[in-house]
Structure 1
Amino acid sequence: MRNTSNPELAAAWATVPDVAEAQKRHEAAVRLRRDFPPGVTPVEALAGVQGAAAATFMSTGEWPADFAKQAAKAHADAVVWEAEVVALRQLETSTKADAEFLRDVLSADVLEHLAGRLGEILDAAKDAGEALGSVTTPEQAIEAGGEVLDAWRRLTGLLSDFRNVRAAQWDVLRSVTGDDERARIRTWNAEGHGEIKGVPMADVPSHIVDVMRSGAYTIEYLVWLAQSGAAYVPTSYEDLATTVEATTEPVVYDDHGPVRPVRDISPTVTPIRQPRPAEVYAHSTAPLIDKSKQRGPKPTPNASHPDRERSTTDYF
Protein backbone atom coordinates (compact mmCIF):
# COMPACT_ATOMS: atom_id res chain seq x y z
CA MET A 1 0.00 0.00 0.00
CA ARG A 2 2.75 2.43 0.92
CA ASN A 3 6.35 2.63 -0.18
CA THR A 4 8.38 -0.04 1.58
CA SER A 5 11.80 -1.61 1.32
CA ASN A 6 10.40 -4.99 2.35
CA PRO A 7 9.93 -7.02 -0.87
CA GLU A 8 7.54 -9.47 0.81
CA LEU A 9 5.29 -6.65 2.03
CA ALA A 10 5.34 -4.94 -1.36
CA ALA A 11 4.46 -8.21 -3.09
CA ALA A 12 1.68 -8.89 -0.59
CA TRP A 13 0.02 -5.50 -1.05
CA ALA A 14 0.44 -5.87 -4.83
CA THR A 15 -2.02 -8.75 -4.65
CA VAL A 16 -4.74 -6.20 -3.78
CA PRO A 17 -4.18 -3.31 -6.25
CA ASP A 18 -7.40 -1.61 -5.13
CA VAL A 19 -5.66 -0.61 -1.90
CA ALA A 20 -2.66 0.88 -3.71
CA GLU A 21 -4.94 2.81 -6.07
CA ALA A 22 -6.99 4.19 -3.18
CA GLN A 23 -3.80 5.26 -1.41
CA LYS A 24 -2.60 7.07 -4.55
CA ARG A 25 -5.91 8.93 -4.82
CA HIS A 26 -5.64 10.03 -1.21
CA GLU A 27 -2.06 11.26 -1.67
CA ALA A 28 -3.14 13.19 -4.80
CA ALA A 29 -5.99 14.80 -2.82
CA VAL A 30 -3.54 15.83 -0.09
CA ARG A 31 -1.27 17.50 -2.69
CA LEU A 32 -4.20 19.36 -4.23
CA ARG A 33 -5.25 20.74 -0.85
CA ARG A 34 -1.70 21.72 0.13
CA ASP A 35 -0.92 23.39 -3.23
CA PHE A 36 -4.14 25.40 -3.33
CA PRO A 37 -3.31 29.14 -3.03
CA PRO A 38 -4.10 30.84 0.29
CA GLY A 39 -7.08 33.16 0.57
CA VAL A 40 -9.64 34.65 2.95
CA THR A 41 -13.18 33.76 3.93
CA PRO A 42 -16.14 35.91 2.76
CA VAL A 43 -16.40 37.49 6.21
CA GLU A 44 -12.69 38.38 6.19
CA ALA A 45 -12.97 39.74 2.62
CA LEU A 46 -15.84 42.07 3.51
CA ALA A 47 -14.04 43.18 6.67
CA GLY A 48 -11.02 44.10 4.54
CA VAL A 49 -13.05 46.22 2.12
CA GLN A 50 -14.88 47.89 5.00
CA GLY A 51 -11.65 48.65 6.82
CA ALA A 52 -10.07 50.14 3.68
CA ALA A 53 -13.12 52.34 3.07
CA ALA A 54 -13.12 53.57 6.67
CA ALA A 55 -9.40 54.35 6.47
CA THR A 56 -9.97 56.36 3.27
CA PHE A 57 -12.75 58.34 4.88
CA MET A 58 -10.66 59.06 7.98
CA SER A 59 -7.81 60.41 5.88
CA THR A 60 -9.71 62.25 3.11
CA GLY A 61 -13.23 62.71 4.43
CA GLU A 62 -14.57 60.99 1.29
CA TRP A 63 -16.39 57.66 1.21
CA PRO A 64 -15.37 55.48 -1.77
CA ALA A 65 -18.00 55.80 -4.51
CA ASP A 66 -17.37 52.23 -5.67
CA PHE A 67 -17.59 50.68 -2.21
CA ALA A 68 -20.53 48.44 -3.13
CA LYS A 69 -18.76 47.22 -6.27
CA GLN A 70 -15.55 46.47 -4.31
CA ALA A 71 -17.46 44.71 -1.54
CA ALA A 72 -19.44 42.58 -3.99
CA LYS A 73 -16.33 41.50 -5.91
CA ALA A 74 -14.31 40.72 -2.75
CA HIS A 75 -17.18 38.71 -1.31
CA ALA A 76 -17.81 36.79 -4.55
CA ASP A 77 -14.12 35.93 -4.97
CA ALA A 78 -13.92 34.80 -1.34
CA VAL A 79 -17.03 32.62 -1.70
CA VAL A 80 -15.50 30.88 -4.71
CA TRP A 81 -12.17 30.38 -2.88
CA GLU A 82 -13.84 29.06 0.26
CA ALA A 83 -16.08 26.69 -1.69
CA GLU A 84 -13.07 25.04 -3.33
CA VAL A 85 -11.07 24.89 -0.08
CA VAL A 86 -13.96 23.15 1.68
CA ALA A 87 -14.38 20.76 -1.24
CA LEU A 88 -10.66 19.87 -1.20
CA ARG A 89 -10.73 19.25 2.55
CA GLN A 90 -13.74 16.99 2.16
CA LEU A 91 -12.00 15.21 -0.71
CA GLU A 92 -8.92 14.58 1.45
CA THR A 93 -11.07 13.20 4.27
CA SER A 94 -13.18 10.96 2.05
CA THR A 95 -10.23 9.52 0.11
CA LYS A 96 -8.44 8.80 3.39
CA ALA A 97 -11.50 7.01 4.76
CA ASP A 98 -11.86 5.05 1.54
CA ALA A 99 -8.20 3.97 1.59
CA GLU A 100 -8.40 2.93 5.25
CA PHE A 101 -11.63 1.03 4.66
CA LEU A 102 -10.17 -0.94 1.77
CA ARG A 103 -6.96 -1.55 3.73
CA ASP A 104 -8.91 -2.95 6.68
CA VAL A 105 -11.28 -5.04 4.57
CA LEU A 106 -8.61 -6.48 2.29
CA SER A 107 -5.86 -6.94 4.88
CA ALA A 108 -7.02 -10.56 5.29
CA ASP A 109 -6.06 -11.15 1.64
CA VAL A 110 -2.61 -9.70 2.30
CA LEU A 111 -2.10 -11.85 5.39
CA GLU A 112 -3.33 -14.89 3.47
CA HIS A 113 -0.71 -14.21 0.82
CA LEU A 114 1.97 -13.94 3.51
CA ALA A 115 0.78 -17.24 5.00
CA GLY A 116 1.24 -18.85 1.61
CA ARG A 117 4.73 -17.44 1.32
CA LEU A 118 5.55 -18.69 4.82
CA GLY A 119 4.44 -22.16 3.80
CA GLU A 120 6.65 -22.10 0.71
CA ILE A 121 9.67 -20.95 2.70
CA LEU A 122 9.20 -23.55 5.42
CA ASP A 123 8.67 -26.39 2.94
CA ALA A 124 12.01 -25.54 1.34
CA ALA A 125 13.64 -25.11 4.76
CA LYS A 126 12.40 -28.52 5.89
CA ASP A 127 14.02 -30.23 2.91
CA ALA A 128 17.28 -28.33 3.41
CA GLY A 129 17.17 -28.99 7.16
CA GLU A 130 17.09 -32.73 6.60
CA ALA A 131 20.32 -32.47 4.61
CA LEU A 132 21.83 -30.27 7.32
CA GLY A 133 21.56 -32.91 10.03
CA SER A 134 23.01 -31.76 13.35
CA VAL A 135 24.95 -28.82 11.88
CA THR A 136 23.97 -25.55 13.59
CA THR A 137 26.80 -23.12 12.75
CA PRO A 138 28.41 -21.86 9.52
CA GLU A 139 31.78 -23.18 10.68
CA GLN A 140 30.35 -26.68 10.97
CA ALA A 141 28.73 -26.36 7.55
CA ILE A 142 32.01 -25.27 5.93
CA GLU A 143 33.85 -28.12 7.61
CA ALA A 144 31.25 -30.65 6.42
CA GLY A 145 31.20 -29.21 2.88
CA GLY A 146 29.33 -30.81 -0.02
CA GLU A 147 25.58 -31.26 0.37
CA VAL A 148 25.60 -29.86 3.90
CA LEU A 149 27.24 -26.63 2.78
CA ASP A 150 24.77 -26.29 -0.11
CA ALA A 151 21.89 -26.80 2.31
CA TRP A 152 23.31 -24.12 4.62
CA ARG A 153 23.51 -21.66 1.74
CA ARG A 154 19.89 -22.37 0.74
CA LEU A 155 18.78 -21.89 4.32
CA THR A 156 20.65 -18.57 4.53
CA GLY A 157 18.58 -17.22 1.63
CA LEU A 158 15.38 -18.69 3.05
CA LEU A 159 16.11 -17.10 6.43
CA SER A 160 16.22 -13.66 4.79
CA ASP A 161 12.85 -14.30 3.12
CA PHE A 162 11.43 -15.57 6.42
CA ARG A 163 12.49 -12.41 8.25
CA ASN A 164 10.79 -10.28 5.60
CA VAL A 165 7.56 -12.28 5.88
CA ARG A 166 7.47 -11.90 9.65
CA ALA A 167 8.21 -8.17 9.43
CA ALA A 168 5.46 -7.79 6.83
CA GLN A 169 3.04 -9.73 9.05
CA TRP A 170 3.49 -7.36 11.98
CA ASP A 171 3.42 -4.29 9.72
CA VAL A 172 0.02 -5.29 8.32
CA LEU A 173 -1.45 -6.19 11.71
CA ARG A 174 -0.34 -2.86 13.19
CA SER A 175 -1.64 -0.87 10.23
CA VAL A 176 -5.21 -2.18 10.51
CA THR A 177 -5.69 -1.82 14.27
CA GLY A 178 -6.30 0.99 16.73
CA ASP A 179 -3.92 2.35 19.36
CA ASP A 180 -5.02 -0.05 22.12
CA GLU A 181 -4.77 -3.08 19.85
CA ARG A 182 -1.34 -1.98 18.58
CA ALA A 183 -0.09 -1.77 22.17
CA ARG A 184 -1.27 -5.34 22.80
CA ILE A 185 0.32 -6.50 19.55
CA ARG A 186 3.66 -5.05 20.63
CA THR A 187 3.37 -6.86 23.95
CA TRP A 188 2.41 -10.16 22.32
CA ASN A 189 5.22 -9.82 19.80
CA ALA A 190 7.75 -9.27 22.60
CA GLU A 191 6.37 -12.34 24.38
CA GLY A 192 6.95 -14.54 21.32
CA HIS A 193 3.35 -14.89 20.15
CA GLY A 194 2.31 -14.79 16.50
CA GLU A 195 4.91 -17.41 15.51
CA ILE A 196 3.26 -20.78 16.21
CA LYS A 197 -0.26 -22.03 16.72
CA GLY A 198 -1.66 -25.03 18.56
CA VAL A 199 1.37 -25.56 20.77
CA PRO A 200 1.45 -24.20 24.35
CA MET A 201 4.43 -21.97 24.98
CA ALA A 202 5.32 -24.19 27.95
CA ASP A 203 5.97 -27.08 25.55
CA VAL A 204 8.41 -25.15 23.37
CA PRO A 205 12.16 -25.51 24.09
CA SER A 206 13.48 -22.54 26.03
CA HIS A 207 16.13 -21.58 23.44
CA ILE A 208 13.43 -21.54 20.75
CA VAL A 209 11.19 -19.34 22.93
CA ASP A 210 14.13 -16.94 23.37
CA VAL A 211 14.40 -16.58 19.59
CA MET A 212 10.65 -16.05 19.24
CA ARG A 213 10.73 -13.29 21.84
CA SER A 214 13.81 -11.51 20.52
CA GLY A 215 13.05 -11.84 16.82
CA ALA A 216 16.73 -12.66 16.23
CA TYR A 217 15.92 -15.52 13.87
CA THR A 218 18.55 -18.17 13.20
CA ILE A 219 18.86 -21.07 10.78
CA GLU A 220 18.46 -23.47 13.68
CA TYR A 221 15.16 -21.78 14.57
CA LEU A 222 14.00 -21.81 10.94
CA VAL A 223 14.64 -25.55 10.67
CA TRP A 224 12.89 -26.22 14.01
CA LEU A 225 9.88 -24.18 12.89
CA ALA A 226 9.71 -26.01 9.55
CA GLN A 227 9.86 -29.40 11.25
CA SER A 228 7.33 -28.48 13.95
CA GLY A 229 4.52 -27.78 11.49
CA ALA A 230 3.12 -25.21 13.93
CA ALA A 231 4.09 -21.99 12.14
CA TYR A 232 1.32 -19.66 11.03
CA VAL A 233 0.48 -16.10 10.04
CA PRO A 234 -2.46 -14.58 11.98
CA THR A 235 -5.31 -13.72 9.63
CA SER A 236 -6.45 -10.81 11.81
CA TYR A 237 -6.04 -9.19 15.21
CA GLU A 238 -8.86 -11.38 16.53
CA ASP A 239 -7.11 -14.51 15.27
CA LEU A 240 -3.92 -13.48 17.04
CA ALA A 241 -5.78 -12.68 20.27
CA THR A 242 -7.53 -16.06 20.23
CA THR A 243 -4.25 -17.90 19.74
CA VAL A 244 -2.58 -15.97 22.57
CA GLU A 245 -5.45 -16.82 24.90
CA ALA A 246 -5.31 -20.50 23.96
CA THR A 247 -1.58 -20.88 24.54
CA THR A 248 -1.14 -18.98 27.80
CA GLU A 249 -2.24 -19.61 31.36
CA PRO A 250 -5.00 -17.41 32.84
CA VAL A 251 -3.64 -14.59 34.94
CA VAL A 252 -6.87 -13.65 36.73
CA TYR A 253 -8.15 -15.60 39.71
CA ASP A 254 -11.27 -15.63 41.84
CA ASP A 255 -12.29 -17.63 44.95
CA HIS A 256 -12.59 -20.79 42.85
CA GLY A 257 -9.17 -20.49 41.16
CA PRO A 258 -8.11 -19.36 37.66
CA VAL A 259 -10.76 -17.57 35.62
CA ARG A 260 -11.47 -19.50 32.46
CA PRO A 261 -11.62 -17.89 28.99
CA VAL A 262 -14.89 -16.21 28.03
CA ARG A 263 -15.43 -18.78 25.27
CA ASP A 264 -15.37 -21.63 27.81
CA ILE A 265 -19.07 -22.17 28.57
CA SER A 266 -18.77 -25.62 30.15
CA PRO A 267 -20.73 -25.86 33.43
CA THR A 268 -19.01 -25.43 36.77
CA VAL A 269 -20.17 -27.82 39.51
CA THR A 270 -20.01 -26.35 43.01
CA PRO A 271 -20.37 -28.92 45.80
CA ILE A 272 -23.24 -28.37 48.23
CA ARG A 273 -21.92 -27.26 51.60
CA GLN A 274 -23.15 -29.19 54.62
CA PRO A 275 -24.93 -27.01 57.22
CA ARG A 276 -23.04 -26.36 60.43
CA PRO A 277 -24.72 -26.89 63.82
CA ALA A 278 -25.55 -23.79 65.82
CA GLU A 279 -22.71 -22.67 68.05
CA VAL A 280 -23.54 -22.31 71.77
CA TYR A 281 -21.13 -20.43 74.03
CA ALA A 282 -20.71 -20.44 77.81
CA HIS A 283 -22.41 -17.07 78.11
CA SER A 284 -25.38 -18.12 75.95
CA THR A 285 -28.85 -18.14 77.50
CA ALA A 286 -32.06 -19.85 76.56
CA PRO A 287 -34.72 -17.78 74.82
CA LEU A 288 -37.82 -16.56 76.67
CA ILE A 289 -40.57 -19.16 76.60
CA ASP A 290 -43.57 -16.83 76.88
CA LYS A 291 -44.75 -13.50 78.24
CA SER A 292 -44.05 -14.67 81.77
CA LYS A 293 -40.39 -14.13 80.96
CA GLN A 294 -39.51 -17.61 82.12
CA ARG A 295 -36.49 -19.15 80.44
CA GLY A 296 -35.78 -22.75 79.63
CA PRO A 297 -32.79 -24.64 80.98
CA LYS A 298 -29.38 -23.18 80.19
CA PRO A 299 -28.03 -24.75 76.98
CA THR A 300 -24.92 -26.86 77.03
CA PRO A 301 -21.98 -25.02 75.43
CA ASN A 302 -20.48 -26.66 72.33
CA ALA A 303 -18.16 -23.91 71.12
CA SER A 304 -15.80 -21.24 72.38
CA HIS A 305 -15.48 -17.71 71.11
CA PRO A 306 -12.62 -17.44 68.59
CA ASP A 307 -9.64 -15.23 69.37
CA ARG A 308 -9.62 -13.74 65.88
CA GLU A 309 -12.10 -11.70 63.93
CA ARG A 310 -14.47 -13.84 61.91
CA SER A 311 -14.37 -13.91 58.10
CA THR A 312 -16.79 -15.11 55.45
CA THR A 313 -15.23 -18.58 55.52
CA ASP A 314 -16.58 -19.01 59.06
CA TYR A 315 -20.15 -18.61 57.86
CA PHE A 316 -20.17 -20.09 54.33
Structure 2
Amino acid sequence: MAKAQERHEEAVKLRREFPRGKPPAEALAGVQDDAIATFTATGKWPADYAKRAAKAHADALVWESAALALRRLEDATKAAAEDLRDSLSPDVLTHLDGRLTEILDAARDAGETLGDVTTAEQAIEAGGDVLDAWRRLTSLLKDYRNVRDAQWDVLRAVSGMDERSRVVLWRDAGHGEVKDVRVEDIPPHIRSVMQSRAYTIEYLVWVARSGSAFVPASFDDLEFSVTAATEPTAYDDHGPIRDMSPVVLPEREYKPLNTRRDPRPYVD
Protein backbone atom coordinates (compact mmCIF):
# COMPACT_ATOMS: atom_id res chain seq x y z
CA MET A 1 0.00 0.00 0.00
CA ALA A 2 2.85 2.38 0.81
CA LYS A 3 4.43 1.68 -2.57
CA ALA A 4 1.17 2.41 -4.40
CA GLN A 5 0.80 5.71 -2.54
CA GLU A 6 4.40 6.57 -3.34
CA ARG A 7 3.79 5.96 -7.05
CA HIS A 8 0.75 8.25 -6.95
CA GLU A 9 2.74 11.02 -5.26
CA GLU A 10 5.45 10.69 -7.91
CA ALA A 11 2.83 10.98 -10.66
CA VAL A 12 1.38 14.12 -9.04
CA LYS A 13 4.85 15.64 -8.87
CA LEU A 14 5.53 14.88 -12.54
CA ARG A 15 2.31 16.54 -13.65
CA ARG A 16 2.84 19.63 -11.50
CA GLU A 17 6.41 20.09 -12.73
CA PHE A 18 5.45 19.66 -16.39
CA PRO A 19 5.89 23.00 -18.22
CA ARG A 20 2.75 24.99 -18.96
CA GLY A 21 1.67 25.04 -22.60
CA LYS A 22 -1.23 25.72 -24.95
CA PRO A 23 -3.66 23.36 -26.63
CA PRO A 24 -3.21 23.07 -30.44
CA ALA A 25 -6.24 25.24 -31.25
CA GLU A 26 -5.08 28.01 -28.93
CA ALA A 27 -1.49 27.86 -30.23
CA LEU A 28 -2.71 28.06 -33.84
CA ALA A 29 -5.03 30.94 -32.99
CA GLY A 30 -2.06 32.83 -31.56
CA VAL A 31 -0.11 32.58 -34.82
CA GLN A 32 -3.21 33.63 -36.75
CA ASP A 33 -3.70 36.67 -34.51
CA ASP A 34 -0.09 37.72 -35.08
CA ALA A 35 -0.47 37.40 -38.87
CA ILE A 36 -3.72 39.36 -38.87
CA ALA A 37 -2.17 42.10 -36.74
CA THR A 38 0.80 42.29 -39.13
CA PHE A 39 -1.47 42.54 -42.17
CA THR A 40 -3.62 45.18 -40.49
CA ALA A 41 -0.55 47.31 -39.67
CA THR A 42 1.44 46.83 -42.89
CA GLY A 43 -0.98 45.56 -45.50
CA LYS A 44 1.28 42.53 -46.05
CA TRP A 45 0.53 38.92 -45.15
CA PRO A 46 3.55 37.22 -43.44
CA ALA A 47 5.37 35.02 -45.95
CA ASP A 48 6.28 32.48 -43.26
CA TYR A 49 2.77 32.19 -41.84
CA ALA A 50 2.18 28.61 -42.97
CA LYS A 51 5.52 27.42 -41.59
CA ARG A 52 4.95 29.15 -38.26
CA ALA A 53 1.38 27.91 -38.00
CA ALA A 54 2.39 24.31 -38.73
CA LYS A 55 5.20 24.40 -36.17
CA ALA A 56 3.02 25.98 -33.48
CA HIS A 57 0.30 23.41 -34.05
CA ALA A 58 2.75 20.48 -34.08
CA ASP A 59 4.54 21.65 -30.93
CA ALA A 60 1.22 22.11 -29.17
CA LEU A 61 0.14 18.59 -30.17
CA VAL A 62 3.31 17.19 -28.60
CA TRP A 63 2.73 19.20 -25.42
CA GLU A 64 -0.95 18.22 -25.20
CA SER A 65 -0.27 14.51 -25.69
CA ALA A 66 2.26 14.54 -22.84
CA ALA A 67 -0.02 16.61 -20.57
CA LEU A 68 -2.98 14.28 -21.15
CA ALA A 69 -0.81 11.24 -20.51
CA LEU A 70 0.42 12.66 -17.20
CA ARG A 71 -3.14 13.48 -16.17
CA ARG A 72 -4.20 9.91 -16.91
CA LEU A 73 -1.15 8.63 -15.04
CA GLU A 74 -2.12 10.65 -11.94
CA ASP A 75 -5.73 9.43 -12.09
CA ALA A 76 -4.69 5.80 -12.62
CA THR A 77 -2.17 5.74 -9.78
CA LYS A 78 -4.68 7.45 -7.48
CA ALA A 79 -7.34 4.86 -8.27
CA ALA A 80 -4.86 2.02 -7.80
CA ALA A 81 -3.71 3.37 -4.44
CA GLU A 82 -7.30 3.88 -3.25
CA ASP A 83 -8.40 0.40 -4.35
CA LEU A 84 -5.42 -1.18 -2.65
CA ARG A 85 -5.95 0.93 0.47
CA ASP A 86 -9.63 0.00 0.69
CA SER A 87 -8.93 -3.70 0.23
CA LEU A 88 -6.10 -3.74 2.76
CA SER A 89 -7.54 -1.34 5.35
CA PRO A 90 -9.09 -4.12 7.49
CA ASP A 91 -5.70 -5.84 7.67
CA VAL A 92 -3.98 -2.55 8.50
CA LEU A 93 -6.44 -1.76 11.30
CA THR A 94 -6.14 -5.30 12.65
CA HIS A 95 -2.36 -4.94 12.65
CA LEU A 96 -2.64 -1.62 14.49
CA ASP A 97 -4.93 -3.18 17.07
CA GLY A 98 -2.37 -5.93 17.68
CA ARG A 99 0.39 -3.37 17.96
CA LEU A 100 -1.71 -1.39 20.42
CA THR A 101 -2.12 -4.49 22.59
CA GLU A 102 1.65 -4.97 22.68
CA ILE A 103 2.23 -1.33 23.65
CA LEU A 104 -0.36 -1.38 26.41
CA ASP A 105 0.84 -4.69 27.85
CA ALA A 106 4.30 -3.16 28.23
CA ALA A 107 2.82 0.08 29.57
CA ARG A 108 0.79 -1.81 32.15
CA ASP A 109 3.90 -3.55 33.50
CA ALA A 110 5.86 -0.30 33.58
CA GLY A 111 2.94 1.44 35.23
CA GLU A 112 2.98 -1.06 38.08
CA THR A 113 6.63 -0.21 38.72
CA LEU A 114 5.87 3.50 38.49
CA GLY A 115 3.33 3.40 41.27
CA ASP A 116 2.04 6.86 42.17
CA VAL A 117 4.77 8.73 40.26
CA THR A 118 3.20 11.08 37.70
CA THR A 119 6.02 13.48 36.72
CA ALA A 120 9.55 13.23 35.37
CA GLU A 121 10.85 15.05 38.45
CA GLN A 122 9.33 12.45 40.75
CA ALA A 123 10.77 9.65 38.62
CA ILE A 124 14.25 11.19 38.72
CA GLU A 125 14.01 11.61 42.46
CA ALA A 126 12.91 8.00 42.92
CA GLY A 127 15.62 6.68 40.56
CA GLY A 128 16.32 2.99 40.01
CA ASP A 129 13.50 0.87 38.58
CA VAL A 130 11.07 3.76 38.76
CA LEU A 131 13.24 5.93 36.54
CA ASP A 132 13.72 3.04 34.11
CA ALA A 133 9.95 2.53 34.00
CA TRP A 134 9.43 6.24 33.26
CA ARG A 135 11.90 6.10 30.38
CA ARG A 136 10.20 2.99 29.05
CA LEU A 137 6.81 4.68 29.19
CA THR A 138 8.21 7.74 27.43
CA SER A 139 9.23 5.53 24.52
CA LEU A 140 5.91 3.66 24.56
CA LEU A 141 4.05 6.97 24.49
CA LYS A 142 5.58 7.77 21.10
CA ASP A 143 4.56 4.34 19.81
CA TYR A 144 1.04 4.83 21.14
CA ARG A 145 0.73 8.21 19.40
CA ASN A 146 1.93 6.70 16.11
CA VAL A 147 -0.69 3.95 16.31
CA ARG A 148 -3.48 6.45 16.96
CA ASP A 149 -2.33 8.74 14.14
CA ALA A 150 -2.25 5.79 11.73
CA GLN A 151 -5.66 4.64 12.94
CA TRP A 152 -7.33 7.95 12.13
CA ASP A 153 -5.49 8.27 8.81
CA VAL A 154 -6.88 4.93 7.67
CA LEU A 155 -10.41 5.52 8.98
CA ARG A 156 -10.61 8.90 7.24
CA ALA A 157 -9.12 7.53 4.04
CA VAL A 158 -11.62 4.68 3.64
CA SER A 159 -14.68 6.82 4.50
CA GLY A 160 -16.89 8.83 2.18
CA MET A 161 -17.18 12.60 2.39
CA ASP A 162 -20.04 12.62 4.91
CA GLU A 163 -18.57 9.75 6.91
CA ARG A 164 -15.16 11.45 6.96
CA SER A 165 -16.60 14.53 8.67
CA ARG A 166 -18.26 12.32 11.27
CA VAL A 167 -14.98 10.49 11.89
CA VAL A 168 -13.27 13.81 12.60
CA LEU A 169 -16.07 14.92 14.93
CA TRP A 170 -15.96 11.63 16.84
CA ARG A 171 -12.18 11.76 17.07
CA ASP A 172 -12.23 15.31 18.43
CA ALA A 173 -14.90 14.28 20.96
CA GLY A 174 -12.56 11.62 22.34
CA HIS A 175 -14.12 8.52 20.80
CA GLY A 176 -12.23 5.67 19.16
CA GLU A 177 -9.81 5.14 22.06
CA VAL A 178 -11.73 2.85 24.41
CA LYS A 179 -14.90 0.81 23.98
CA ASP A 180 -17.59 -0.48 26.33
CA VAL A 181 -17.03 2.60 28.50
CA ARG A 182 -19.64 5.33 28.78
CA VAL A 183 -18.46 8.91 28.45
CA GLU A 184 -19.82 9.81 31.88
CA ASP A 185 -17.73 7.06 33.48
CA ILE A 186 -14.40 8.43 32.22
CA PRO A 187 -12.57 10.80 34.61
CA PRO A 188 -12.75 14.39 33.27
CA HIS A 189 -8.97 14.84 33.06
CA ILE A 190 -8.66 11.59 31.09
CA ARG A 191 -11.52 12.54 28.79
CA SER A 192 -9.80 15.88 28.16
CA VAL A 193 -6.68 14.06 26.93
CA MET A 194 -8.80 11.88 24.64
CA GLN A 195 -10.32 14.98 23.09
CA SER A 196 -7.06 16.90 22.66
CA ARG A 197 -4.90 13.84 21.87
CA ALA A 198 -2.12 15.51 23.88
CA TYR A 199 -1.15 12.13 25.30
CA THR A 200 0.65 11.90 28.61
CA ILE A 201 2.27 9.06 30.50
CA GLU A 202 -0.50 9.26 33.11
CA TYR A 203 -3.05 8.81 30.33
CA LEU A 204 -1.11 5.91 28.78
CA VAL A 205 -1.04 4.07 32.12
CA TRP A 206 -4.76 4.71 32.62
CA VAL A 207 -5.62 3.34 29.18
CA ALA A 208 -3.41 0.31 29.76
CA ARG A 209 -5.11 -0.45 33.07
CA SER A 210 -8.61 0.13 31.71
CA GLY A 211 -8.47 -2.98 29.53
CA SER A 212 -10.85 -1.27 27.10
CA ALA A 213 -8.48 0.29 24.56
CA PHE A 214 -9.02 -0.74 20.94
CA VAL A 215 -8.48 0.22 17.33
CA PRO A 216 -11.81 0.28 15.44
CA ALA A 217 -11.88 -2.41 12.77
CA SER A 218 -13.95 -0.23 10.42
CA PHE A 219 -16.15 2.85 10.24
CA ASP A 220 -19.11 0.75 11.36
CA ASP A 221 -17.15 -0.54 14.35
CA LEU A 222 -16.29 3.02 15.33
CA GLU A 223 -19.91 4.15 14.93
CA PHE A 224 -21.13 1.27 17.11
CA SER A 225 -18.61 2.22 19.81
CA VAL A 226 -19.71 5.86 19.73
CA THR A 227 -23.36 4.86 20.03
CA ALA A 228 -22.65 2.53 22.96
CA ALA A 229 -20.70 5.27 24.74
CA THR A 230 -23.31 8.00 24.37
CA GLU A 231 -26.81 6.51 24.23
CA PRO A 232 -28.80 5.71 27.38
CA THR A 233 -28.35 2.17 28.65
CA ALA A 234 -32.12 1.65 28.71
CA TYR A 235 -35.03 3.34 27.03
CA ASP A 236 -38.63 2.68 26.05
CA ASP A 237 -39.28 2.36 22.31
CA HIS A 238 -42.85 3.56 22.89
CA GLY A 239 -41.99 6.78 24.63
CA PRO A 240 -41.08 7.95 28.13
CA ILE A 241 -40.85 5.24 30.74
CA ARG A 242 -43.85 5.35 33.05
CA ASP A 243 -44.25 3.89 36.50
CA MET A 244 -47.01 1.29 36.09
CA SER A 245 -46.89 0.03 39.69
CA PRO A 246 -50.21 0.16 41.59
CA VAL A 247 -51.03 3.49 43.09
CA VAL A 248 -51.33 3.25 46.87
CA LEU A 249 -53.89 5.65 48.24
CA PRO A 250 -54.11 6.65 51.90
CA GLU A 251 -56.77 4.88 53.88
CA ARG A 252 -60.04 6.73 54.07
CA GLU A 253 -61.27 7.81 57.43
CA TYR A 254 -64.86 6.82 57.94
CA LYS A 255 -67.02 8.93 60.24
CA PRO A 256 -69.77 7.13 62.21
CA LEU A 257 -73.25 7.61 60.87
CA ASN A 258 -75.49 10.02 62.76
CA THR A 259 -77.96 7.61 64.43
CA ARG A 260 -79.51 10.15 66.80
CA ARG A 261 -83.29 9.91 66.51
CA ASP A 262 -85.48 12.98 66.30
CA PRO A 263 -86.96 13.37 69.81
CA ARG A 264 -90.18 14.78 68.41
CA PRO A 265 -93.11 12.31 68.37
CA TYR A 266 -93.98 10.82 65.05
CA VAL A 267 -97.24 12.25 63.74
CA ASP A 268 -99.10 10.37 61.05
TM-score, length-scaled by structure 1: 0.64
Instruction: Give 2:144's match in structure 1, choosing from 162, 165, 173.
Output: 162
Aligned match of 1:214 = 196
Which amino acid is the alignment partner of residue 142 of structure 2? S
- The residue number in structure 1 matching 2:239 is 256
Higher RCO, Cα 8 Å, sep 6+: 2
- 1:57-76 → structure 2 map (5 Å cutoff): 57-64=39-46, 67-76=49-58
Instruction: Say whether 1:87 aligns with 2:87.
Output: no
Q: In terms of mean alpha carbon deviation, does 20-29 or 69-78 score higher?
A: 69-78
- Say yes or no: does 1:112 pair with 2:83: no
Q: Which runs of 5+ in 1 are unaligned?
A: 1-18, 259-316
What are the within-5 Å matches in structure 2 for residues 31-180 of structure 1? Answer: 31-64=13-46, 67-180=49-162
Aligned length: 240
**Which has more helix, going by share of residues?**
2
> Aligned partners of 2:48, 2:138: CA distance in 1, in Å?
81
Task: Decide whether aligned partners of structure 1 residues 94 and 168 sit closer, same or farther in structure 2, where only a CA change above 3 A counts.
Answer: same
How far is the alpha carbon of 1:196 from its aligned partner? 0.8
* 1:64-118 CA distance string (max 9 Å, x none): 5565454444333333332222222222222223223323332333322322221
The aligned residue for residue 259 of structure 2 is none
User: Counterpart of 1:180 in structure 2: which amino acid?
Assistant: D
What SS is found at the alignment partner of 1:156?
A: helix
Distance 1:257 1:59, change over 3 A: same
- The Cα shift of 1:58 comes to 3.7
CA separation in 2, counterparts of 1:216 and 1:69? 67
CA positional deviation for 1:255 = 6.4
Percentage of matched positions with identical amino acids:
66
Query: Matched residues in 2 for 1:51 and 1:149: separation?
Result: 79
Q: CA RMSD in A?
A: 3.2
How far apart, CA to CA, are the structure 1 residues paired with 2:85 and 2:14? 23
Q: Which runs of 5+ in 2 are unaligned?
A: 242-268
Counterparts of residues 21-32 of structure 1 (less than 5 Å): 21-32=3-14
Q: Which amino acid is 1:35 matched to? A: E
CA–CA separation in structure 1 for the residues paired with 2:118 and 2:182: 25
Shift of 1:244: 0.6
Letter of the 1:154 counterpart: R
